[in-house]
Structure 1
Amino acid sequence: MSDSINLSRRRLFSRRKDDALRPPYVRADIEFTDLCTRCGKCAEACETAIIIKGDGGFPEVSFADAECTFCGRCHEACDETIFDAALEPPWPLKAQISTSCLAASGIWCQSCKDACDERAIRFTPAIGKAPMPELELDACTGCGACVAPCPSHAISIIKPSN
């Protein structure tokens, strides 16, 4: 019984994995929540307003209404040593298309392809059915331009697993 108490206490005080989508150019070698002061300057500077106040008041990225243009204003506004403007790519995020895509139900829709400037989403024509999306991960910047226009909310931006 004392082992279970110790384990639960240990879990309580251990760092939980940070799954939040952070702004671009955030250094990978830091613990974001240790350095961020939650001042909100990055959110105020964001030209597309995708940086929002998230869990605990820390900045997170939401692609519900817009995309990241990688303008760099977020890191220019920050006084902390959180960002590295030289990062290439600016983050590891990539698009993911779920099975709720309208094309999977036989409905012709290519709104994500139309929104993708990088041409990371292609549709291959097929006889007798709606073309299915194909995602070219190497071309995807994770900008999120494809998320908001998707009528079935089938696209999300994720941190790929290694």
Structure 2
Amino acid sequence: MDSRPRPPGAVDEALFVDRCIRCDGCVEACPERVLVRADGGFPILDPSLGECTFCGDCVAACADQALLPSLLAEWPWRAALGAGCLSGQGVVCQACRDACGERAIRFPPGAGLGAPMIDASACSGCGACIGACPTSALRLQRIAISQSAASP
């Protein structure tokens, strides 16, 4: 299974690989330009390129039902902190918080130092914080849908 997110609305991985004909329709339809071809020509969402707005244009462009409108609200990805966070190393940086329209990222009170805390229930998984991070310390991580009440 690919550890990178497929476009919003993607069916489960095995079915996605079976249905997707790699036509690039979803990639071309994305107004945010955050969908790209990956291994084998299959599309993924690359949050380092910007924020997904969950507009559904990719789903509408998919004639092969690899992406379904009914699955748009079940986006199973949330922001997660990895190594390299500047704030966690004592450098004042809150770029991820500033980029988060959902207000899902908070920092410990005080001088703005310390690793950010990500509220998975508030995070939409849009990826806005990932592209804003100067050290690429954030990534999207798959979660069980029941772990979050948030929907894009």
Q: What is the TM-score with the length of structure 1 in the denominator? A: 0.82
2:130 alignment counterpart: 147
Change in CA separation of 1:120 and 1:88 when aligned onto 2, cut-off 3 Å = same
Does residue 1:28 correspond to 2:12, yes or no? yes
Return the match for 2:30 from 39, 46, 54. 46
1:66 alignment counterpart: 50
CA separation in 2, counterparts of 1:61 and 1:18? 12
Correspondence 1:123-142 to 2 at 5 A: 123-126=107-110, 130-142=113-125
CA separation in 1, counterparts of 2:31 and 2:105? 25
In the alignment, residue 48 of structure 2 is paired with which amino acid?
A
State the Cα RMSD in Å: 2.0
Return the match for 1:159 from 118, 121, 142. 142
Change in CA separation of 1:34 and 1:112 when aligned onto 2, cut-off 3 Å = same
Unmatched segments (≥5 aa) in structure 2? 148-152
Q: Which has the higher contact order (CA 8 A, sep 6+)?
A: 2
In the alignment, residue 152 of structure 1 is paired with which amino acid?
T
Q: Secondary structure at the match of 2:17?
A: helix
Offset, 1:88: 5.7
Structure with higher helix content: 2
Q: What is the TM-score with the length of structure 2 in the denominator? A: 0.87
Change in CA separation of 1:104 and 1:20 when aligned onto 2, cut-off 3 Å = closer
Taking every aligned residue pair, what percent have the same amino acid on both sides?
40
Considering only CA atoms, is the larger Rg found in Structure 1 or Structure 2?
1
Which consecutive segments of 4 or more residues in structure 1 shift more than 2 A?
17-20, 27-30, 86-90
Unmatched segments (≥5 aa) in structure 1? 1-16
Offset, 1:30: 5.5
